[in-house]
């Protein structure tokens, strides 16, 4: 019995740690998957959707909690149609969506790195720096849920030419930040900002929006229920076209100047 117990103990301790979700979806034709290091050594994975010349404006896309770069599989091609190159990034605070596993989360896990929302900041910074090596035009940053708040926090520091934020909120007070951390940083933005969300979430980001220069701010609250995060633009969402109309109107000046 003692020998059996010892074998069980050894088996338990020798089982390798499972990190991340697998990717089952096929990468679309014309999409290039790249990797680059974050400041703390974690390897960041991203999909580049760049059928246009490098002089076209470039949008860096960040996903919501529990998701991956797969959040943008149907969104990025439509941004291409609107005149933008794009890069969908795996940030380490996430898992998988639409059959696409979060490879940055897997890399962070294997290194024993924490994966809270704020821990993704090095990934966002590295991604924007990488985007500037790919783009010769303006660089915009776009976030979903927790990352939508982070792009408002980091937008000025990253010298973004515009910020798009889908369902932001003060999500970080349990991660060492104040209850007004996002609003306090968003007020430093001097570039065009677009904020939207589900209808029921508008009150949550109202104080953040109030901190931003009103002459730079565009908001959209749907007349219907809407949906949380960037996935509100998925074609499976019943009111996605209303959001797309608002997004396209906000983005239009960047392809006409």
Percent of the chain whose pLDDT exceeds 90: 91
pLDDT for 5: 41
**pTM value?**
0.93
Among the residue ranges 18-22, 39-43, 158-162, 166-170, the one predicted with the least confidence is: 18-22
Taking the C-alpha atoms of residue 126 and residue 131, their distance in angstroms, rounded to an integer, is 9
> Class of the 28-256 domain?
alpha beta
Residue spans of beta strands (DSSP E) within the chain: 32-37, 43-49, 58-62, 85-89, 96-97, 100-101, 139-144, 162-166, 193-196, 217-220
Backbone angles phi, psi at 242, to 5 degrees: -65, -40
State both tokens at 205.
């980001």
Model pLDDT for residues 219-249, shown as the tens digit of each residue: 999 999 999 999 999 999 999 999 999 999 9
pLDDT for 134: 97
Backbone angles phi, psi at 58, to 5 degrees: -130, 130
Taking the C-alpha atoms of residue 76 and residue 96, their distance in angstroms, rounded to an integer, is 17
Taking the C-alpha atoms of residue 175 and residue 255, their distance in angstroms, rounded to an integer, is 38
């Amino acid at each position: 019995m003692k020998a059996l117990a010892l074998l069980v103990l050894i088996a338990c301790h020798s089982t390798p740690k499972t990190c991340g979700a697998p990717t089952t979806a096929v990468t679309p034709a014309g999409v290039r998957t790249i990797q680059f290091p974050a400041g703390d050594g974690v390897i960041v994975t991203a999909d580049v959707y760049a059928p246009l010349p490098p002089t076209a404006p470039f949008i860096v896309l960040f996903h919501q909690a529990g998701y991956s770069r797969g959040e943008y599989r149907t969104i990025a091609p439509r941004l291409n149609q609107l005149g933008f190159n794009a890069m969908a990034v795996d940030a380490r605070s996430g898992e998988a969506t639409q059959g696409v596993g979060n490879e940055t989360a897997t890399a962070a896990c294997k290194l024993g790195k924490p994966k809270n929302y704020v821990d993704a900041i090095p990934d966002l910074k590295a991604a924007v720096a990488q985007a500037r090596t790919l783009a010769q035009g303006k660089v915009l940053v776009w976030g979903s849920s927790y990352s939508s708040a982070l792009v408002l926090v980091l937008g000025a520091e990253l010298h973004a030419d515009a910020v798009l934020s889908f369902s932001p909120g003060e999500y970080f007070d349990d991660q060492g930040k104040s209850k007004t951390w996002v609003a306090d940083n968003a007020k430093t933005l001097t570039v065009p900002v677009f904020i939207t969300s589900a209808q029921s979430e508008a009150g949550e980001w109202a104080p953040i929006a109030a901190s931003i220069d009103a002459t730079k701010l565009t908001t959209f609250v749907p007349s219907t229920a809407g949906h949380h995060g960037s996935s509100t633009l998925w074609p499976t969402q019943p009111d996605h076209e209303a959001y797309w109309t608002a997004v396209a109107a906000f983005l239009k000046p960047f392809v006409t100047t």
